Amino acid sequence: MPMKHLPGEAPVRAWRDKDLVVDILPSCDLGNSSFLISDRSQKAAVVIDPTRDVVRYLDALDRFSLSLQWVLDTHLHADFVSGGKELAELGGARFGLSDQIDAKFSHDALDEHDTVNVGSNHLTLIRSPGHTPEHVSFLLHDSRGRARVLFSGGSLMAGTAARPDLLGPQFTNVLVREEYTTLHDRYRPLTGSVAVLPTHAGGSFCGVGARASQCTSLARERSTNPLLRATDIASFFSAYLSDQPFPKYYGLSRATNLEGGRPLGRNIPELPSLDAAEVERLRSSPGLTVLDIRSPELFETSHIPGSVSISAEGPLSAWVGWIRPDTETFVLVDDDPTIRRVAQIGLLRIGYDGLRGYLAGGIAAYAAAGFPTASTRRATMTSVRKIMEKGQPFTLLDVRNPDEAARVHVPGAINIPLPRLEREAASSLPRELPLFVHCQSGYRAGIAASLLERMGFAHVFCVAEGPEAWSPKSVRLARVHAHH
C-alpha cells in the first residue's frame, strides 16, 4: 500500500489560536511548503499552494473531518506543477487565482475586493508582484477581524524574497521595482506581530540566501531581512539581484500551470517492476535515461553503463529537471522502495511523467543476469595534488557555479558548471587524459562523473571533496580558467 506521505513530509503545526489552525505540508525536494488552514469548530478548510500529489491534502482533510472550501495559488509556480485544479475538483471546492492570471480552465478570478472564508475567519488578497508579475499574498484574519498570518508565497521569504529573473532579463528590472514596492509599501500597513508563512524556503532554487525557516514574522524580517532594511532602491537592487542559475524546467512548469496540468488521481500507483532483460532492452531506446538514485558511493561501486547518477540524498527532482529534458523517459535503479517513491513523487511534482518503471532486484539482479556493469574511480584532493607535484598530465574539472569557483578554487582547474557540462565537455576537455571532477561536497561531482562516462570519457575520477581540501592557505589566490 502506498505510504501516506514521504519521509519528512508529515503535516507540521505552524500556527494555532483556539480553533483556527494552520498546518504546513512540506515538500522537501523543492524546499517548499503548502498550507492547510482550518476552522476546527466549523470543520472548514482552505489549502494554499498545493503540489500535484493531492492525496496528502485529501488524507489530512479526512483525518480532521474537514470540508474543503477553497484552494488558492499565490502565483504561477515555476518550480512545480500545481495540484490546485485537481484538488479543488476532488474536494468539491473552488479554485481561486489572481485575476491577473489568464488560466485556460475554469477558476475563480480574485481581486483585492474578494474575501475567502475559512469558517468564521477569512482571507483577503494583497497584490504582491515582484517574484512574478501576477503574484498575490493571502492575509488570514480571525473571527474578530484581526490580521494574524500572511501567506506570502515568494514575495517574502525568511531572510530574502524569491528571485525576480525567472521570466527573462526583459522583465527583471520591472519586477525588482515591484518587489521593492511590495515589501516597503504594500506590506507597510501590516503590524510586526503578523506571522509570515512563505511557500518558498531554504533549499528552493526560487530564492537565493533564504534561511531554512518555514515560518517567520514581519517583525523579524523588518529587523533582519536585507531587502526590508534597504533604504533606497539602489541598495535594494544590490541586495536582491543574483546571478545564480536556476533549473531549466522552470519554464515548463509555468506553462503547464496555465493549462491546468494532467490529473494524477487520488492514489498514485507504485512504479512497475522491470526485470534485468527488459531494462537491458529499454536502455538503448531513444530518449530513455537509466536514472540511478542510489548513493554516490553505491553508484561508483557498480552501475549500468551509460546510466546517470542523481542520488535521492539530494535535490533529485531539481537536478533531473536541470539536466534532462522533459521529453525523456526514465527507468529507475534503486536499493530501497522508499527512495524510489521519493523519486517518483518528486519527478511527478515537476511534470516529469515519463517513468517506465524500476529495475527489479536492483543492480545485483542485473549483474546476476549476466549483463555487464561499470564502476567509477574515486580520488581525493591529496592524490590530485600529488599527481600535479609529479608533473603528470591530467585535467581537473570544477563543476560548481562560477561565483563559487571565483571565491575559492584549485590552481589550474577548469570551471564548467554542471548544467552546462553536456553542452561544453566535448569541445573543452581532452579525452586522453585522466579527468578528475569535483564540486563542493561530492554530490554534483557524482552527477558530472556519470554524465562524462555516458559521453564516452574513459578516464574519469570522482573527487568527493571541495577545494578547501586542496590547501586552505593557497586556493583563494589561485587563478581559475572559466569557460563561457
CATH topology of domain 12-259: Metallo-beta-lactamase; Chain A (3.60.15)
Most confident range (mean pLDDT) of 8-12, 134-138, 165-169 is 134-138
* Cβ-contact 23, 57 below 8 angstroms: no
Confidence at residue 216, expressed as pLDDT on a 0 to 100 scale = 96
Confidence at residue 477, expressed as pLDDT on a 0 to 100 scale = 37
pLDDT-based confidence at residue 472 (cuts at 50, 70, 90): low
**Strands 195-198, 147-153: parallel, antiparallel or unpaired by DSSP?**
parallel
Please name the amino acid found at residue 225.
N
Other CB atoms within a 10 A radius of the CB of residue 214 amount to 19
> What is the arithmetic mean of pLDDT over 18-35?
96
Q: What is the pTM of this model?
A: 0.94
Tens of pLDDT, residue by residue over 291-307, are 999 999 999 999 999 99
CA–CA–CA angle 414, 418, 419 (5° rounding): 130
Other CB atoms within a 10 A radius of the CB of residue 121 amount to 25
Q: Which range has the worst mean pLDDT, 83-92, 107-116, 238-247, 370-379?
A: 238-247
> What is the arithmetic mean of pLDDT over 410-427?
95
Residue 246 has pLDDT above 80, yes or no: yes
**Strands 12-17, 395-398: parallel, antiparallel or unpaired by DSSP?**
unpaired
Where in the chain are the domains?
12-259, 273-368, 377-482
pLDDT-based confidence at residue 212 (cuts at 50, 70, 90): confident
CATH class of the region 273-368: alpha beta
Residue 476 has pLDDT above 70, yes or no: no
Confidence at residue 22, expressed as pLDDT on a 0 to 100 scale = 98
> What is the arithmetic mean of pLDDT over 117-122?
98
C-alpha distances out from residue 233 to 73, 134, 173, 174, 178, Å:
29, 21, 11, 12, 11
Residue 479 has pLDDT above 80, yes or no: no
* Cβ-contact 454, 409 below 8 angstroms: no
Residue 480 has pLDDT above 70, yes or no: no
Residue 238 has pLDDT above 90, yes or no: yes
Q: Does domain 377-482 have CATH number 3.30.70.20?
A: no
Q: How many CA atoms lie within 13 A of 196 on its CB side?
A: 28
Confidence at residue 107, expressed as pLDDT on a 0 to 100 scale = 97
Tell me which of 103 and 3 has the higher pLDDT: 103
pLDDT-based confidence at residue 275 (cuts at 50, 70, 90): very high
Q: Does 273-368 match 377-482 in CATH topology?
A: yes
Confidence at residue 473, expressed as pLDDT on a 0 to 100 scale = 54
Confidence at residue 243, expressed as pLDDT on a 0 to 100 scale = 82
CB neighbour burial string for 376-385, b if at least 16 within 10 angstroms, e if fewer: bebbbbeebb
Residue 483 has pLDDT above 50, yes or no: no
Confidence at residue 213, expressed as pLDDT on a 0 to 100 scale = 84
Residue 478 has pLDDT above 80, yes or no: no
Q: In this structure, what C-alpha cell is assigned to residue 86?
A: 485537481
pLDDT-based confidence at residue 346 (cuts at 50, 70, 90): very high
Please name the amino acid found at residue 162.
A
Query: Helix (H, G, I), strand (E, B), or coil: what is residue 123?
Result: strand
- Residue carrying C-alpha cell 589561485: 478
